[in-house]
Amino acid sequence: MPRYVARFEKGGYTKYISHLDLLRVFKRAFKVMGLDIRYSNGYNPHPKMSFAQPLSLGYSSLCEYLEFETITPHDPESLKEDLAKNLPRDLAITELFQFDSEVKTLAAESDACEYRIFVPFEGTEEEFRDLFTSYMAQDRITALKKMKKTKTMEEVDIKDKIRSWKVSKEGDNAVIDCILDSGSHSNLSPELVIKSFLDFSKLPLMRWDLEVQRVQQFFTDRIRF
Amino acid sequence: MSIDISRQLDKLLKRVEKPGRYIGGEVNSVMKDPEETDVNFCFCFPDIYEIGMSYLGLQILYKVLNDRPGVFCQRAFQPQTDMEELMREEGMPLYTLETKTPLKEMDMVGFTLQYEMSFTTILNMIDLAGIPVKAADRSEDDPLVIAGGPCAYNPEPLWEFIDCFLIGDGENLLPAFTDLYAEMKKSGATKEEFLKEACKLRGVYVPSFYDVKYHEDGTILELCKLVEDAQLPVKRSILPSVEGSAFPVDPIIPMVEAVHDRAVVETFRGCTRGCRFCQAGMIYRPVRERTREKVMELALKQLDNTGHEELSLLSLSSSDHTEFEEMAMDLVDCTKSRQVSLALPSLRMDKFAFNVLQRIQEFKKSGLTYAPEAGTQRLRDVINKGVTENDIFTSVRQALELGWTHIKLYFMIGLPTETYEDLDGIADIARRICDLNYEINGGKGGRFKLTVSVSNFVPKADTPFQWEAQDTPESFRLKHNYLAEKLRNKRIVFNYHDNETSAFEAVFARGDRKTSALLYEAWKLGCKLDGWSEHYRPDLWEQAFMNSGVDKDFYTTRKRSADEIFPWEIVDPCVSREFLRKEAEKAYEAVTTHDCRYGCVGCGINREVRCEKGGIYHA
């Protein structure tokens, strides 16, 4: 079956479109294009399309992946053009390519994601670096996480899941660039980093003062784009 | 775009439910440079996004206006309460979805008046926009606040808040209005000067150009105009034909799921049946049809452009279209091949309808709905609902035989001349349908369910029942209890409406200028989104009646005399008062009037416009 991956940006206000709504937006676009998306078999056939990693509501992104299957082969370039025409203006397709792979889904191969966290900060870059360094220097970085099975809040240590980080200053914001575990084996949401950092730093900020952008997604070695 | 707003907005949107409702940017939404356009217009729907975006009229007028290079039409909706609270806390005004511009910076904001229970929300939106709620308090810097839609046929409850009403079909009137505005704005005219010109356009009603004098008993002595060029009455604007009129084949496609997320084609405007309680049946006359070819063309183009998975027809009575059967078959074929589901609302349930439904639904049989409206033949004759018991039972029998398991019945209670015998009639129809089910589906009756929905009759302006008294809330309550007892059956689900809401609806449906004080009080006390049970506050409404001194009974339970002057007669629906009165007299004698497609009944509409059904008016 011909299989494709579209890489796109979630820009402007489209960061407020939820995962499910975004799926509908693409489904609608494919329908208008008259694309022969492959459907699953069964009583409630659904189109074979999925995102590599869901993105939290409110995050913008420079790098989202949607994979989909069609019945007949298509030219990726013209697919890209056609798709771009049928999407809201702030969803920009940056790349679309054929994806011949043995892997079941991209989602299953997700390994890590890189984020930029924008923290309003009046001090200097050095001051912020000191602050974040001391945050990272803790023996354990604990955060409360809602457990999937028991639905209870449990304390988890997220330190090992932060693979790398650096900070800088851009205008009124300090920016934390970080790579976090992602995927079924080990996953860390930027929300836990933000929460524990705000608690630690005692910065007088509310969660909604911060912006988050996903910059890159990394996959296991089985994926080669 | 206002940078301040967008930065502020980013913080609010992270704290509210479904932020996707407040962002715009949907496919087919329009973007223009407000600096480059002569008229900046904001279309306002006084309900939340998901409701407003399901409304075809918005899509039509959005297109009509944006097709003009000199006009930029944007949109605004009532935010959900969590968003509104934050906006007020942060001092953020209501803004347009397209460019995030405060409504206050528009040339005009236009509200659509779809139902009376949205009136407080209009006041609320004006206020949230930072515009003075009362027209008299607005300055030259404030936008012109205009309104149109079915409730504009009795505009008086809103007279203090709206600068100008546009009455009748909007497709021609609204662009004529904005064109005139653009022209006069260039020459530096004031709002007052503009309105003095605009009021010469057919369909334009400027409340401040009129005065109303009252008798001591509160009824109207005289309607008079204060400005020479103002029209009295204001005749509604009528589109002579809808065949070629603007229709959006590339409507805005919401990213957040709207209530109706589907393609819609209006097959015709108006209705010939002449049900005496129905306002739409009077104010949308004459019947104007789109040809079958046009309907197909609009349906296909829309499906192509939107990728919608459902198509619905819109009219007051689907089956009454001259070419309905051919059209329905064409649509069944084309939707099937595209895997689009087809909805045919308000079908007359005859043999043909069953054939079509069999083909559309095949395995999935959703419920079938019938609206006999009244329980006995006598009362159905009074209201001129041309349905007989035989029609109902023949049709229900067929539905049950074909495997439908859910039947819904709609009735109204509190209709003129109603007695408890008519309520017994409702129970009787329900019981006989249940019996019919046992007869057809055997002793246990299968999975059958019958829903009986009863709504409270609200007398409306410009109908033959405009003189009638509404039942008291107490009487409605007794009738509901009576029916609940009679309909006690495990197969029957009995629904009824809230009594207080019906009374408020009735006050505004036939309210005069004095009721604007009630509206203002209610809004001041915090009423808004009254159509939503979770937001509706009957206690505040009661308080508002006390504070405003408006006598509820005067508007609801008072029967009007034959010669009373009505507040809504400032507007001429172009159906004659004599016709309405004649229909009222016939109602009292339970004499029916035939469907006027089989011969003119003399409603008077043809004095104004050609009636496709061959209307002849004898004054």
Q: Quick check: helix, strand or coil at residue B495?
A: strand
Contact B242, B232 (CB under 8 A): no
Measured at the CA of B529, the angle between CA B261 and CA A88, to 5 degrees, comes to: 35
**Position B278, amino acid:** C
Q: How far is CA B350 from CA A101, B354, B395, B397, B404, in A?
A: 56, 7, 7, 11, 15
DSSP letter (8 states) at residue B367: -
- Per-residue pLDDT tens over the stretch B487-523: 999 999 999 987 778 889 999 999 999 999 999 999 9
Encoded tokens for A64: 């989202």
Which band of pLDDT confidence, cut at 50, 70 and 90, is reported for residue B362?
low
Spell out a b/e string for B166-175, using b for 16 or more CB atoms within 10 Å of the CB, else e.
bbbbbbbbbb
Least confident of A11-15, A44-48, B521-525: A44-48
DSSP E strands, B258-393: 263-266, 268-269, 288-289, 310-314, 341-343, 368-373
Contact B157, B508 (CB under 8 A): yes
- Per-residue pLDDT tens over the stretch B421-442: 999 999 999 999 999 999 998 8
Do A178 and A140 fall into the same domain?
Answer: yes
Chain B residues 523-552 within an 8 A CB cutoff of chain A: none
Q: How far is B25 from chain A (nearest CA, A)?
A: 6
- Per-residue pLDDT tens over the stretch B87-126: 999 999 999 999 999 999 999 999 999 999 999 999 999 9
**Position B464, amino acid:** P
Q: Which of A13, A91, A172 to mutate to test the interface with B (most CBs of B within 10 A)?
A: A13
**What CATH number is attached to the domain comprising A14?**
3.30.70.580
- On the 0-12 / 13-18 / 19+ scale of CB atoms within 10 A, B408 is middle
Which band of pLDDT confidence, cut at 50, 70 and 90, is reported for residue B412?
very high
Which residues have C-beta within 8 Å of that of residue B240, sequence separation ≥ 6? Answer: B288, B609, B610
A224 part of a folded domain: no
A209: nearest CA in chain B? B11
Residue contact B306–A28, C-beta within 8 A: yes
Do A139 and A59 fall into the same domain?
Answer: no
B97: nearest CA in chain A? A13
Do A80 and A135 fall into the same domain?
Answer: no
- Where a domain ends, among A64, A79, A100? A100
Do A92 and A134 fall into the same domain?
Answer: no
Do A161 and A95 fall into the same domain?
Answer: no
Do A27 and A85 fall into the same domain?
Answer: yes
User: What is the end-to-end Cα distance of chain A in Å, rounded?
Assistant: 18
Residue contact A17–B20, C-beta within 8 A: yes
Token pair 């900060």 is at which residue? A121
Residue contact B307–A31, C-beta within 8 A: yes
Helix intervals (H) in B270-318: 280-283, 292-306
Do A85 and A126 fall into the same domain?
Answer: no
A40 part of a folded domain: yes
**Position B207, amino acid:** P
A212 part of a folded domain: yes
Structural domains of chain B, ranges and CATH numbers in brackets: 3-235 (3.40.50.2300), 365-512 (3.30.750.200), 569-607 (no CATH)
A54 part of a folded domain: yes
Number of independent structural domains in chain A: 2
A140 part of a folded domain: yes
**What CATH number is attached to the domain comprising A198?**
3.30.70
Which band of pLDDT confidence, cut at 50, 70 and 90, is reported for residue B3?
low
Inter-chain contacts counted by CB atoms under 8 A, chains A and B: 62
Which residues have C-beta within 8 Å of that of residue A151, sequence separation ≥ 6? Answer: none
ipTM of the complex: 0.92
Q: How far is CA B519 from CA B190, B501, B507, B516, B528, in A?
A: 29, 14, 10, 5, 10
Q: How far is B19 from chain A (nearest CA, A)?
A: 6
A225 part of a folded domain: no
Phi, psi of A58 (to 5 degrees): 100, -10
**Position B234, amino acid:** V
Asked if B249 is an interface residue toward chain A (Cβ–Cβ < 8 A), one would say no
Q: How far is A126 from chain B (nearest CA, A)?
A: 26
- Per-residue pLDDT tens over the stretch A45-96: 888 999 999 999 999 999 999 999 999 999 999 999 999 999 999 999 999 9
Contact B145, B207 (CB under 8 A): no
A148 part of a folded domain: yes
Q: What is the mean pLDDT of chain B?
A: 94
Q: How far apart are CA A155 and CA B364, in angstroms?
A: 49
Do A19 and A117 fall into the same domain?
Answer: no
- Per-residue pLDDT tens over the stretch B184-219: 999 999 999 999 999 999 999 999 999 999 999 999
Question: Residue B347: which of B334, B335, B357 has the closest Cα?
Answer: B357
**B615 has a pLDDT exceeding 70:** no
Q: How far is A208 from chain B (nearest CA, A)?
A: 5
Do A14 and A73 fall into the same domain?
Answer: yes
Encoded tokens for B329: 């078959």
Spell out a b/e string for B360-399, using b for 16 or more CB atoms within 10 Å of the CB, else e.
beeeebeebbbebbbbbbebbbbbbbbbebeebeebbebb
Do A183 and A203 fall into the same domain?
Answer: yes
Which band of pLDDT confidence, cut at 50, 70 and 90, is reported for residue B1?
very low
B29: nearest CA in chain A? A88
Between strands B220-225 and B210-214, the pairing is antiparallel
3-state SS of B109-150 is EEEECCCHHHHHHHHHHHHHCCCCCCHHHCCCCCCEEEEECH
Please report the pLDDT score of residue A225 as a whole number: 78
- Where a domain ends, among A100, A127, A161? A100
Residue contact B20–A16, C-beta within 8 A: yes
Which band of pLDDT confidence, cut at 50, 70 and 90, is reported for residue B363?
low
Do A42 and A77 fall into the same domain?
Answer: yes
Q: Please compute the mean of the pLDDT values over residues A34-52 and round it to a whole number.
A: 90
Side by side, the strands of the sheet bearing B406-413 are B368-373, B406-413, B449-456, B492-496
DSSP letter (8 states) at residue B235: E
Q: Please compute the mean of the pLDDT values over residues B56-82 and round it to a whole number.
A: 97
Q: How far apart are CA A87 and CA A100, in angstroms?
A: 25
- Per-residue pLDDT tens over the stretch B316-360: 998 999 999 999 999 999 898 888 888 888 888 788 888 888 888
- Where a domain ends, among A100, A130, A164? A100
Do A125 and A214 fall into the same domain?
Answer: yes
A12 CB neighbours in chain B (<8 A) are: 25
From the list A28, A86, A90, the residue facing B25 with the nearest CB is A90
Range of the domain at A146: 109-219
Share of chain B above pLDDT 90, in %: 84
Question: Residue A179: which of A143, A140, A207, A217 has the closest Cα?
Answer: A217
Q: What is the dihedral of CA B270, B271, B276, B280, to 10 degrees?
A: -30
